[in-house]
A and B are shown apart, each in its own frame.
Chain A
Amino acid sequence: MTAARMFPFTRFRVEDESMRPTLEPGDYVFVNRWAYRFQSTKRGDLVVVRDPEASERFLVKRVSDATGPTEVQLAGDNRIASRDSRAFGPVPLERIVGKVWIRLKR
């Protein structure tokens, strides 16, 4: 991962269903880890974050509200099947890995 950090883009494979129909299980996302060096998070951004409830795990969610300078609210697009800020509250910006730059549909 150290060598990869020299490069802003990293890829993730999507699991689970809370981002349907935007993302399906098995899709890939390319994430720009430097996106928020030059701009702030906006409502509607797709982001990969470290799970506030389990740090070793990554989540892909949408920013539903850029509540303050230090935190955002996250939501799944498939509201009725998503665990997100409604359950775990706002997420500190430092937990954001990056912004989804490209989606590769299965």
Chain B
Amino acid sequence: MSLLHSLARALDRVSPAPIAYAHCDIPCGIYDPHHAQLAAHTVVRMVDLINQLEKPGPNATAEQRQEYTNKLTRYIATKEQHSEIAKSELRILWADYFKPDHLKTFPELHDTMWKALKTASKARQEINLQAAEDLLKATNDVASMFWKTKGFETITAKAPYPTERQTVYPKFK
């Protein structure tokens, strides 16, 4: 921060500077692809948990079956919810955030979004790790486009969650 900038800020306390907007849109929306990415991670995690769940054998007791059914149902319910959250978040970005101008920079935008939504439906319908991974990849692709439109570079790093999948993050300055 420069000295002159600090002076201007100090001056703001006496007489606030009017704001000149380098304006994008009104309502100036608050958008972030992270919600979609997070929901996709949850879907991946639920498929992992379902696959790790030990199935009750022929001699399992009623309690063991009940416990299995309870866990499986909870994982499936969460997978349902979060596939839908991912779809909803993707739709918001697609319909509200991205503008026709973005298409000039990212001609693949519509196709990526459309496939992402289809993949989310597949991940919701099935216990399918590949579909869940594809959904996460699709949200990452959307995140890279999103952050580029905001003027930020992105990095791809291992997520600090049990899923540990590669995730796109913005490189804030």
Contact = CB atoms under 8 A, between A and B. Distances in A.
Do A and B form a real pair? yes
Interface of A: 10-21, 23, 25, 27-29, 31, 48, 51, 54, 57-61, 76, 78-83, 86, 104-106
Contact of A83 (B16, B17, B23, B151): B23
Contacts of B12: 13
15 contacts: A12-B19, A13-B8, A13-B18, A15-B19, A16-B28, A18-B24, A19-B22, A25-B22, A28-B9, A57-B19, A57-B23, A78-B22, A80-B148, A104-B4, A105-B2
Interface string B105-142: 10000000000000000000000000000000000000
A11 B28 contact: no
Contacts of B148: 80
Instruction: Give the interface size class of chain B.
Output: 20 to 34
A12 B24 contact: no
A6 to B, nearest CB: 15
A79 B149 CA distance: 9
Given A83-B25, A106-B1, A106-B5, A17 B20 contact: no
The 5 nearest A-B residue pairs measured at CB: A19-B22, A12-B20, A60-B20, A20-B151, A18-B22
A80 B106 CA distance: 10
Contact of A23 (B4, B9, B22, B149): B22
B23 A59 contact: yes
Contacts of B158: none
Contact of A79 (B5, B16, B28, B101): B101
Nearest to A20: B151
Interface of B: 1-2, 4-5, 8-9, 11-12, 16-26, 28, 99, 101-102, 104-105, 148-151
A83 to B, nearest CB: 5
Nearest to B3: A104
B4 A59 contact: no
Nearest to B173: A24
Residue among B4, B16, B21, B149 with most chain A CB within 10 A: B21
A105 B105 CA distance: 28
Contacts of B17: 11-13, 28
Contacts of A19: 22
Contacts of A60: 20-22
Contact of A48 (B1, B11, B20, B149): B20
Nearest to A28: B8
